[in-house]
């Protein structure tokens, strides 16, 4: 029984890790970083530079 439970846990961890890797690769192909969902300093600086360029 423990073997089945451990297998399910390992499968869930590997599935989540695979999902995160695929998502990061897709975003990097679009030219975005993994933190684009958040309001990070790099994003604020980029938006400020775009505003000043206009």
Domain count, the chain: 1
| pLDDT for 12 | 98
Sign, CA dihedral 37-39-40-46, equals positive
pTM: 0.57
35: CB partners within 8 A, 6+ apart: 42, 43
Residues 1-44: tens digit of each pLDDT: 999 999 999 999 999 999 999 988 887 777 766 666 667 787 78
Residue 54 predicted with pLDDT over 70? yes
Domain that holds residue 8: 2-53
**What three-state secondary structure class fits 40?**
coil
Predicted confidence (pLDDT) at residue 49 exceeds the cutoff of 80 = yes
Give the helix/strand (H/E) hosting 14.
Answer: helix 2-29
Q: Give the model's pLDDT for residue 30.
A: 75
For residue 1, give the 3-state DSSP assignment: coil
pLDDT on residue 1: 92
Write out the two tokens for 29: 């192909």
């Amino acid at each position: 029984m423990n073997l089945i439970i451990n297998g399910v846990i390992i499968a869930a961890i590997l599935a989540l890790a695979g999902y995160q890797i695929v998502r990061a690769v897709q975003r990097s192909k679009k030219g975005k970083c993994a933190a684009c969902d958040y309001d990070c300093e790099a994003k604020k600086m980029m938006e400020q530079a775009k505003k000043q360029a206009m």
